[in-house]
Amino acid sequence: MSGIINGNPTKVFFIEMLTRDISITDAIIDLLDNSIDGASSINKNDYSNLYIHLTLNENEFIVEDNCGGFSLDTAQKYAFRFGRPEDAPPTTGTVGRFGVGMKRALFKMGKVFEVESKTDDDHFQIDVDVAKWKEQKTIEEKDGVDVKRDDWNFNYNIIDDQSKNLDNNGTYIRVTDLYDEVSNLFTDESFLNDLTDDIERILNFSLEKGITIKLNGKTLSKKGIYLLMSERVKPYYYEGEKNDVKFRVLAGLSHTGDPSVAGWYIYCNDRLVVEADSTELTGWGVRSNVKFHPDYAMFRGILFLDSDDTLKLPLTTTKKGIDSTANIYKTSRTYMEEGMNYVLSFLKDVRKLEDSDDYRNTLDEVEEKKNVVELKRENFNSYDSRKFFAPDLSPDVIKTKKDSVRISFSAPIKLAGKAKVHSGSKSYKELGENIFDYYTKMEELLDE
C-alpha cells in the first residue's frame, strides 16, 4: 500500500521557528545588508550620498534608505517569496541571497509591518498584519468539497502622493506592535550602544565606501582591525581562486592587550561574517595547532572571500558564521592554518623574552599599520607569498625607530620608599623619572 504524507511548510514555521535562529541585532543588520545590496547595484565602489536611517523606539522600528528600492516585479517574484526561487537571476557581489532575511527580520520584531519601495518605474507598499496573514486561507473546490489551503500571498497597493513616506528611490520599512522583549530592548541604552558598535564593525567596508548610516539620528563611523605592515614586519599572505570564489588570507600582528579581539576575521563580499574567532572553526586546537592563549593576543588573521555569485560564498543564512564544510573554506583554511603556524611560532618566541609585554607594546607603537580596507585594496603582486616576515626579536632593535626607550630597574624596597618620599614622587614610576632627570641634570648631559 502506498499513500501521500503532507510535507507542506506551515506559516508558523516561518513566523515562530526560523526567527529563533537569529538575534535582533543580526536581524536588523540583515535589513541593512539589503539596503547595502541596493547601494552596490547603483555603484559598486562608491556609496557617497546614499544613506540608511534607523529609528528604534518602544513603539516602532523604521529603516529608510535611498539605495534604489526594488521593483514591483522583484517584490512579486522574489523579495516576498519564502526562499529563493531557482529561476531567480544570479545575485552579484552582494550578501543577500537566501530569500529569508527581510521576512525573518520583520517577523522577529513585531506583529504589523509595512514595506514601501520606490524605483523609477514603481512606487508601492505592502502592509502585513501577521496575525491575519497567519489565518489567511484560500478555498478550493475538490471533488465537490471545499478544501481550505494556507494562503501565502501578500497584498500590495500602488502609492499615491498622499500616503508616501519616500521621495527618493529607496525602501521604507516600518514595524509596529512590537513584541514586548523587542520593545524593551529598543529602549535599552546598552543595547543601542552594542548595536552601534556591531554595525560599525560588521559594515565597516560599506561605511568606508561612503554610505551614511544613522541610528536614532546619530551618525555611525567605521571601525576595523589593522595589521602591522612595514619593511620590517610583513604579514603572511596568500591568495587564490576556487570555484569562482577569490580568497585572500592574511595573518599577522596587531595591537596587544585585549585577547578577546584576537583571532580570525572573515569577510564575505566585504561583509564581516566571523569575528575574532579563536575556536576550532578557524583551526585553533585542531590537529597539531595550538589552542588559543592570551599570549597570542597580538594575532590577527583575515580571510577575504569574494564572488560575483553570492550563492558560491560559504555564508550561513544568519550571516554570522561560515559553512565550514564548504570546499572553498577548506581550501582557504589550509593557508589560514599555515599563516597561523608562522605567526604563532614568532609569538611563542616573544613570550620567552624577559619583558615581553614591553616588547609587544613597543612593537605596536612603532610599526606602521594598514587597516582592513587598505589590506583588501593592497596589491600584493610583488610580495613573497606564504611567508611571515617577523620583526627582530631584540627589544633594542625595534626601539631604534622610537624616540624614547623605557628604562627599568629594581631597587631595595626600603630605600626606594625613602627616596620616593624624599623626592616627593607620587609613584615609583615618577621616582624613576626623577632619578633620570636628576642624573642628566647633575652630569650636565642635556646640553650635549
Partner 1 sequence: MNSPRKINYELRPAKFTERKMLLASLTSICRFYNLDYQYIGFGGLSFTDFKLFHKELHINKMTSIEGGDLLQKERVEFNRPFSFINLEYGLSTTILTKLNLSEPSIIWLDYDNALENHMFEDISIIFRKLPAGSIYIFTSNRELKDKNTGNQYEVESFSKKFGSLIPFDVKNVDFSGTENYKTIRKMLLGHINSFIDERNLLNENLKFYQLFNFLYQENGGAKMYTFGGVIDKKNSNLTDSNINNFEFIELGEEPHRINIPNLTIKESEYIDKNFDDEDSIIESRIIEEHDLKKYKQTYKYLPNYFDVRL
Q: Which parts of 149-178 interact with partner 1 (CB under 8 A)?
A: none
Query: Using CB under 8 A as the criterion, what x/- string covers residues 342-361 for binding partner 1?
Result: x--xx-xx------------
Please state, in angstroms and rounded to a whole number, the distance separating the CA atoms of residues 62 and 31: 10
In angstroms, give the least distance from the CB of 288 to partner 1.
3
Closer by beta carbon to partner 1, 11 or else 242: 242
3 state DSSP class of 285: coil
Which residues from 81-100 bind partner 1, rule CB under 8 A?
none
Cα gap 197→268, rounded to integer Å: 19
Q: Contact with partner 1 (CB under 8 A): which of 279, 289, 371, 423?
A: 289
Query: Which residues, 57 to 76, sit near partner 1 by CB under 8 A?
Result: none
Specify the residue, 287 or 377, whose C-beta has the smaller distance to partner 1.
287
CB contact at 8 A, 344 and 299: yes
Strand, coil or helix: what is 302? strand
Nearer Cβ to partner 1, position 312 or 319? 312
User: In one letter, which amino acid is 117?
Assistant: S
Size of the site for partner 1 (CB under 8 A): 22
Asked whether the beta carbons of 358 and 406 are under 8 A apart, the reply is yes
The mark string for 224-243 relative to partner 1 (x by CB under 8 A, - otherwise) is: ----------------x-x-
Torsion of CA 120, 270, 371, 51, to 10 degrees: 20
CB-wise, 289 or 316, nearer to partner 1? 289
Is the CB of 296 or the CB of 388 nearer to partner 1?
Answer: 388
137 near partner 1, rule: CB under 8 A: no
Pick the closer one to partner 1 by CB: 166 or 228. 228
Least distance (Å) from partner 1 to the CB of residue 395? Answer: 18
- Check if the beta carbon of residue 238 is closer than 8 Å to that of residue 339: yes
Q: Which is nearer to partner 1, 286 or 373 (CB)?
A: 286
Nearer to partner 1, 80 or 299 (CB): 299
For residue 326, the minimal CB distance to partner 1 (Å) is 12
Three-class DSSP category at 311: helix
In angstroms, give the least distance from the CB of 327 to partner 1.
7
CB 63 within 8 A of CB 33: no
Contact segment (CB under 8 A) with partner 1 among 37-45, 279-287, 429-437, 439-447 equals 279-287
With a CB cutoff of 8 Å and minimum separation 6, the contacts of 356 are: 295, 350
Q: Which residues contact 317 (CB under 8 A, 6 or more apart)?
A: 21, 98, 100, 101
Site string for partner 1, 368-397 (x = CB under 8 A): ------------------x-x---------
> Per CB under 8 A, which of residues 183..222 are in contact with partner 1?
none
Looking only at the bridges linking them, the beta strands covering 123-129 and 156-158 are: antiparallel
Least Å distance, CB 263 to partner 1, is 19
Cβ at position 364, least distance to partner 1 in Å: 21
Q: Please, which residue, 240 or 395, has the CB nearer to partner 1?
A: 240
Contact 73, 66 (CB under 8 A): no
Question: Contact at 8 Å (CB) between 4 and 36?
Answer: no
Site string for partner 1, 315-344 (x = CB under 8 A): ------------x--xx--x--xx--xx--
Q: Please, which residue, 47 or 329, has the CB nearer to partner 1?
A: 329
Residue 288 gets the label, from left (phi > 0), alpha (psi -120 to 50) or beta, of alpha
DSSP annotation of 53 = E
Chosen residue from 148, 287, 377, 414 binding partner 1 by CB under 8 A = 287
Closest contact distance (angstroms) between CB of 347 and partner 1 is: 10
Which residue from 391, 368, 95 is spatially nearest to 233, judged by alpha carbons? Answer: 391
Q: Cβ of residue 349: shortest distance to partner 1, in angstroms?
A: 6
Q: Is the CA virtual torsion 100, 105, 106, 108 positive or negative?
A: positive
Name beta bridge partners: 174.
62, 114
Which is nearer to partner 1, 223 or 242 (by Cβ)?
A: 242
Q: How far apart are CA 245 and CA 310, in angstroms?
A: 9
CB of 291 to partner 1, least distance (A): 8
**Closest to 308 in 3D by CA, of 246, 239, 380, 377:** 246
**Closest to 80 measured CA to CA, from 124, 110, 120, 48:** 124
Contact status, residue 71 vs residue 158, Cβ threshold 8 Å: no
Nearer to partner 1 by Cβ, of 25 and 341: the residue is: 341
Chain residues that interact with partner 1, rule: CB under 8 A: 240, 242, 285-290, 327, 330-331, 334, 337-338, 341-342, 345-346, 348-349, 386, 388
